[in-house]
């Protein structure tokens, strides 16, 4: 059997199950006849390569944060590395301040990050402690001892660390006195960066789905070599458009974090667009990505139109088209 990614012929025992929807975003049960698109078989070498990519995205992406918000505290983890930014947008002293989610009992709740607010006219530029190594790049060293800088931290120790870092870069400064408590139900603006690894991860979901619904023999055609190279090695060859993965819709990100809810469903569809093959991947009924799987298919176009809904809570898969 040939692997749909490396296209190398290998013995069947060297193949393993690859989940179409990554297991970090839910596990599903489906029918055997006809089989629901839950897994496909790929070689162990490609599967191991993709594990590293999936584990990275699962803990540092918008989808990873969504998963964290809907699970019980302690069942998962999230790394705030800058790809996902959560900021308060309510008017007042904390406007623009950074928050993150921390476990409290069996829930995750928003908590102010250790940070400093630097004066900028009537507003403040809030900088988290873990980004203060780049204070000079932010030109915050222009502040002097007469400027009032606001310090916010969840613990006294974290606050002291913020002060020490500001002193290291800025020198002496005038620290604001005791800060008022932040709002209990904050309105948060949520921004995220969809980088190159993230787009490859989405493209893999779409290609897996096409292989499961249209057949592995179909996707082994050379017409798919460009998207194969993009997913496997990150190569953006001439057979792909300028951006093979695009965000085409997203929901409003200004939300009350206590009332925030996502639909526990994913949806994937694939179809022709003239001679191109295009898939749409919607995760948690929130962001929809469009993936160009093939440009200018050269053979006779078979019927490939398909749409499936993946219910995370019920663990079911339902064919819609």
Model confidence over 189-239: pLDDT tens digits? 877 778 889 999 999 999 999 999 999 999 999 999 999 999 999 988 777
Rounded mean pLDDT of 291-306?
Answer: 92
> 44 and 16, same structural domain?
yes
- 200 and 307: one domain? yes
Its pTM stands at 0.80
Q: What is the dihedral of CA 88, 90, 95, 97, to 10 degrees?
A: -10
Please indicate whether residue 93 or residue 102 has the higher confidence score (pLDDT): 93
As for how many domains the chain has, the answer is 2
Among the listed residues 250, 210, 259, the one whose alpha carbon sits nearest the alpha carbon of residue 63:
250
Q: Are residues 290 and 257 in the same domain?
A: yes
* CB of 179 closer than 8 Å to CB of 88: no
pLDDT, tens digit, for every residue of 18-35?
Answer: 999 998 888 898 777 677
pLDDT of residue 254: 40
Strand ranges of the sheet holding 187-192, from the earlier edge strand across to the other edge: 84-88, 187-192, 254-256
What domain range is 281 assigned to? 12-61+194-319
- Report if residue 125 sits inside a domain: yes
Asked if residue 3 is part of any domain, the answer here is: no
Residue with the larger pLDDT of the pair 3 and 239: 3
Q: How confident is the model at residue 106 (pLDDT cuts 50, 70, 90)?
A: low
Nearest CA to 204 among 36, 52, 12, 35?
52
Q: How many CB atoms lie within 10 A of CB 34?
A: 8
Interval 170-193: pLDDT, tens:
777 777 666 788 877 778 887 777
Last residue of a domain, one of 155, 190, 225: 190
Report yes or no: 277 and 270 within 8 Å, Cβ to Cβ.
Answer: yes
- Is residue 198 included in any domain, yes or no? yes
Provide the pLDDT confidence category of residue 143 given band limits of 50, 70 and 90: low
Same domain, 71 and 91: yes
Domain boundary among 190, 207, 227: 190
Residues 208 and 311 in one domain: yes
Q: Mean of the pLDDT values across residues 117-130?
A: 84
Give a yes or no: residue 225 inside a domain.
yes
What CA–CA distance (Å, rounded) separates 12 from 267?
30
């Amino acid at each position: 059997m040939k692997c749909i990614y490396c296209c190398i012929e290998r013995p069947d025992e060297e193949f393993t199950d690859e989940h179409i929807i990554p297991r970090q975003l839910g596990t599903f049960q489906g029918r055997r006849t006809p089989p629901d698109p839950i897994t496909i078989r790929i070689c162990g070498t490609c599967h191991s390569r993709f594990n590293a990519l999936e584990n990275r995205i699962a803990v540092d992406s918008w989808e990873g944060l969504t998963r964290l918000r809907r699970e019980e505290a302690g069942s998962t983890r999230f790394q705030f590395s800058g790809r996902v930014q959560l900021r308060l947008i309510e008017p007042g002293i904390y406007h623009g301040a950074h928050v993150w989610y921390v476990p409290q009992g069996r829930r995750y709740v928003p908590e102010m990050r250790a940070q400093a607010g630097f004066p900028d006219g009537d507003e403040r530029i809030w900088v988290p402690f873990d980004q203060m190594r780049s204070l000079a790049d932010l030109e915050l060293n222009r502040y002097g001892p007469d400027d009032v800088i606001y310090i916010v931290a969840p613990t006294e120790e974290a606050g002291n660390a913020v002060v020490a870092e500001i002193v290291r870069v800025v020198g002496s400064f005038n620290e604001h006195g005791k800060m008022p408590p932040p709002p209990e139900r904050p309105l948060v603006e949520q921004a995220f960066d969809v980088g190159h690894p993230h787009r490859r991860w989405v493209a893999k979901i779409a290609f897996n789905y096409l292989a499961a619904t249209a057949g592995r023999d179909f996707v082994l055609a050379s017409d798919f070599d460009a998207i194969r190279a993009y997913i496997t090695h990150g190569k953006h060859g001439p057979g792909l458009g300028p951006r093979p993965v695009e965000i085409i819709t997203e929901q409003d990100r200004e939300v009350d974090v206590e009332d925030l809810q996502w639909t526990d469903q994913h949806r994937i569809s694939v179809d022709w667009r003239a001679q191109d093959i295009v898939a749409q991947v919607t995760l948690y009924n929130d962001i929809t990505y469009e993936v160009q799987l093939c440009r200018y298919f050269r053979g006779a176009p078979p019927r490939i139109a398909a749409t499936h809904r993946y219910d995370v809570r019920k663990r079911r898969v339902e064919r819609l088209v």
